[in-house]
Amino acid sequence: VGPKKAREMWFLCRFYDAAEAEKMGLVNAVVP
């Protein structure tokens, strides 16, 4: 996660679903 996305996550405190987390690189894989 780059600095811009990290600031967005910190200041907005928004929830991300599994697909978004995978796309951002926060998780390695999403399994059902």
3-state secondary structure the chain: CCHHHHHHHHHHCCCCCHHHHHHHCCCCCCCC
Tens digits of residue pLDDT in 1-28: 889 988 988 899 889 899 899 888 889 9
Confidence of residue 30 (pLDDT cuts 50, 70, 90): confident
User: In the prediction, which pLDDT does 2 show?
Assistant: 85
* pLDDT above 90 (res 29): no
Among positive and negative, which fits the CA dihedral 13, 27, 23, 32? Answer: negative
* pLDDT above 90 (res 32): no
